[in-house]
Structure 1
Amino acid sequence: MKTKLFLKLIFLVFLISIAGCEENLPTYPNNTSKQTSTHKKVLLVGIDGLQFERIAALNTPNLDKLHISKAYTGGIKGNLSHQATSSGPGWTSILTGVWKDKHGVPNNSSGTYKSKAKSIYRLIKENKNNTSIASIATWSPIHEFLQNDMSLVDYQNEGGSDANSTNLGVHQISNSNHDLVFIHLDNVDIVGHASGFGSAYDNAIIAADQQLGQLMDAITQRLATKNEDWLIMVTTDHGRNSNGGYSHGGTTESEKTIFIGMNKPGNQEFKSKISNLPNTDFDGLYGYPAQTSIVPTILRHMEINIETNWQLSSAPLIGADGPRKLLFVNNNQNELFWVSNSESNAEIYKNNQLVTTVPASQGNYLDTATNDGKTTYTIRIEESTASIESRNQNLKIIACLDWNDMLNNRAYFFRNDGQYIRYNKLKDKTDSGYPKETNNSSWPGLGAYKELITAALKWNNHKGYFFLSDGKYLRYDMNADKVDKGYPTLINNNNWTGLEGWRDKIIGAVNWNNNKAYFFLNDGTYIRYSITNDSADPGYPRSINNSNWPGLGSYATSISSVIDWDSKYVYFFLTDNTYIKYDKQKDATVSGYPKNVDDTTWPGILN
């Protein structure tokens, strides 16, 4: 048994690293060369939560018939593509070819999030006539995330057991004429959550391999009478936490490590890891294929041209190599890195507009223009594309205002690009249609001062205040939804007793809901203001330190805005686009902060 395990490990390492000729590698079940008369079909099997390393350790004869490469999920840490190693974003990326920054599914809340990106189902249906698709998912939320496209699917089934999904898949392959069949098996992940790594988990993998064999056998039987060229792909959505294997969702190498298996040898992007990358995190994991390569691989096999404006994240794993490993250089989100041995040119697109053409082998492009908001860069080399999205690093939250609607479920975030966000506190995400411009239509009387706003404060149920960099302020009537007549006016000791000397230093303000308000100044000090007495308390301003603001002292001069969220928490936003959660009841920063402001923590706030 030990000898067999050793040989199997050697074989898997060989398949991952080999860069030799494709004709020397076996294929299953069909390696028909490209012919227009041959019907191109695809079977995509997803085995939920299967840890890549267990394939080599177990008796999995059907997976062993495939070429297998280590791969990664979760996007690129620190970039907009970063996403949780959870099933919702994972399967959505597998079936759309883009990361969360494009599809918008950050977690498993299928009742809340629907993919904003086109799925492989829509890409096929809109670009190839007379096609048929079957989608069978034991975990039904997969279809819910793709709800906008499921009407295009010719046969679908969700829920039940893996055995039922397998039987339905075999029936559809054998008795229908689908061009794409997707089968999702869930039990490996279910057992992993219940038992962690161990014999039960291994047995679940062996059972899934047997079910894969049934699906592959159904294709073999078809090929006896059909002139078809089947691409078989097998993958998983995420790995597992190495501490027992019970959980996933985090950003560890084990959780980010997945695999992609194919019955075809694949190109260099599939077969050969690239080690010399500007980002070598997770022991060089980004040098392997991404799960977002699955959609373009299916499209290429089905002879569907990949359009630049689809902004797919990765290049195909079969045929000519496209732009490989598109990354930012040293986290500079204006400088691109890629790998290509092509003798042709690389077209550089910025938000779908061609900006320049460079030799593909150059592998580098620096955008010297100033970018506002999000920018999507797409590299096109011959018939393949790869895309990556950046955010203006100077984009900041400069003011926050809690609103006074009946459900207390809205907050407004004002940004230094002159736009604002309406945030749904109950759903914990930005409302659809935002950001919008701050102007006199959206905020009557405020538009002319949008570039001067430094802080905002909800005073009571119908008045809010905006503080400006020139030492003035505006009073906003929330019921009438407009700036009150006579504003802005200069802050002085008659209208804000005790603030006059610091009126041009205010960068944050919050109503603590204890008859006190706090004003944070740009020099790392703060003023406590009595709402009852309508004046600053004696002895202020004082320095912000870890004695009076536990956990906040190190960030005293980095505060850019602050908002009272509910009866328990206040949020401080910092100038480097991180934030701190502050517990009012414990009067201390919550452990684990600051954290990045991104689409996982604050969906849509910096879009």
Structure 2
Amino acid sequence: MPTLKNIVTVDWRSGKDKIYFIFKDTDTYSRFDIPDNKVSDGYPWPIKENWGTLENHMQNLRFGFTTTGITLDRPMDFSDLDILWLFYYERTTPMVCAYNQDTDAVMQTRKVEDTKWKLLLPYFDRIITGTWWQVNRSSLFRFILNDGNSLYLDWDEVPQNPQIDYADDKYDDNLFNTVVAPIQTIRLEAITETTWPGLTAYKDRIITGVQKDRTFADNYYYIFLTDNQYLTYNIPKNRLESGPHSVNNESWPGLLRN
């Protein structure tokens, strides 16, 4: 049975919800269709020729997650925008790609230091996984590090002119950072029974994590561990819901397919 290791998982919210598993050791990926509760037939697929301009960066992918209604660092319509944020290294430079799930195309690629995610830079090579933490507000993000710590990132995106609606081909780079004024804070926290109830016993075994967008009041964060196990963490309640469970053909049908 294949062993899950050196993988990155990301969520997909446009259309039918999905989870993508990126297997970096084999340059392949699988798509888990949440409504069908299985990996679609024929997967895993090769990354080459299936991820466009991103295929050359998947080997250096660090983590990623999806947001809805959150903008880039430029004027745009953000009413129902699903963006997959992919964080990776280009040589030694931390980069972030904003991938538009609605159009299935890259919207923007920038150095992390030039974006609203710049506060992640001191911790970039220690981040295992991160997710949008949709509880009461839309500007919270949490990240799990490889040293027993975690990050709590908070920024309030304040539209200065929400009526502006710029199509991609009308974008003026001179307007960069003029429409949104994020007020950012970041906090380094040890993983304890106070910050991540139930997770402390597993903090040294985490290999990746991904959110399953069930309902606004009941979102789960699936945290994958060594030895083909996973945890179910309840985001709104901020506690371990259950686990560890075995990753097998009953819990994740088709995922361990060669």
Question: TM-score range, shorter-chain basis?
Answer: 0.7 to 0.9
Identify the residue that residue 237 of structure 2 maps to in structure 1. Answer: 586
Alignment equivalent of 1:476, drawn from 99, 111, 122: 99
Larger RCO, structures 1/2 (Cα 8 Å, 6+ apart): 2
Partner residue in 1 for 2:32: 423
Summarize the alignment of residues 274-289 of structure 1 with structure 2, pairs less than 5 Å apart. Answer: none
Residues 558 and 575, structure 1, Cα contact 8 Å, conserved in 2: yes
Match of 1:411 in 2: 19
By how many angstroms is 1:581 displaced? 0.3
* Cross-structure match for 2:124: 503
Alignment partner, residue 211 of structure 2? 564
Is 1:402–1:563's contact at 8 Å kept on the other side of the alignment? yes
**Aligned position for 1:543:** 190
Residue 467 (1) aligns with residue 87 (2): yes
SS in structure 2 at match of 1:498: helix
Asked whether 1:492 is paired with 2:113, we answer yes
C-alpha separation in 2, matches of 1:544 and 1:535: 25
Decide whether the 8 Å contact of 1:563 with 1:570 is kept in 2.
yes
Identity over aligned pairs, percent:
26
Name the amino acid aligned to 2:28: Q
Q: Distance in 2 between matches of 1:578 and 1:535?
A: 38
Aligned to 1:577: 228
CA 1:587 to 1:603, structure 2 compared with 1: closer, same or farther past 3 Å? same
1:601 to 238, 251, 256: 251
Report the alpha carbon displacement of residue 483 of structure 1 after superposing the two structures with TM: 2.5
Return the alpha-carbon distance in structure 1 between the equivalents of residues 101 and 17 of structure 2: 15
Mapped contact 1:528–1:536 kept (Cα < 8 A): no
Contact persistence 1:527–1:536 (CA under 8 A): no
Q: Distance in 1 between matches of 2:50 and 2:251?
A: 26
Q: TM-score, normalised by structure 1?
A: 0.33
AA in 2 matched with 1:467 = F
Query: Paired residue for 1:145?
Result: none
**Closer, same or farther in 2 for the Cα pair 1:536/1:499, shift >3 Å?**
farther
Conserved? CA contact 1:454–1:467, under 8 Å: yes
Change (3 A) 1:502 1:562: same
Normalised TM-score (structure 2) = 0.73
**Alpha-carbon offset, residue 493 of structure 1:** 6.8
Question: Where does structure 2 lack aligned partners over 5 or more consecutive residues?
Answer: 69-80, 158-181
Rounded Cα–Cα distance in structure 2 between residues aligned with 1:585 and 1:501:
28
Equivalent residue of 1:554, what SS? Answer: helix
> Whole-Å Cα distance in 2 between the matches of residues 557 and 490 of structure 1?
29
Secondary structure at 1:420's aligned position in 2? strand
Structure 1 Cα separation of the partners of residues 82 and 56 of structure 2: 22
The alpha carbon displacement at 1:425 in A equals 0.6
Which residues in structure 2 correspond to 1:157-556 (within 5 Å)? 390-391=1-2, 393=3, 395-396=4-5, 398-406=7-15, 408-416=16-24, 417-439=26-48, 441-460=49-68, 461-469=81-89, 470=92, 471-485=94-108, 487=109, 489-492=110-113, 494-514=115-135, 515=138, 516-533=140-157, 534=182, 537-538=185-186, 540-556=187-203
Which secondary structure state, in structure 2, belongs to the residue aligned with residue 589 of structure 1? strand
Deviation at 1:551, TM superposition (A): 0.8
- Specify whether residues 447 and 497 from structure 1 end up closer, same or farther in structure 2 by C-alpha distance, changes over 3 A only: closer
2:14–2:82 Cα contact (<8 Å) kept: no
Report the AA paired with residue 430 of structure 1: V
User: For residues 531 and 606 of structure 1, do their structure 2 counterparts lie closer, same or farther at Cα, with a shift above 3 Å needed?
Assistant: farther
Q: Structure 1: 5+ residue runs without aligned partners? A: 1-389
Distance in 1 between residues matched to 2:51 and 2:155, nearest whole Å: 26
Structure with greater proportional strand content: 2
The structure with more radius of gyration: 1
Q: CA–CA distance in 2 between the matches of 1:431 and 1:557?
A: 31
**Residues 497 and 490 (structure 1 numbering): CA distance in 2 closer, same or farther, change over 3 Å?**
closer
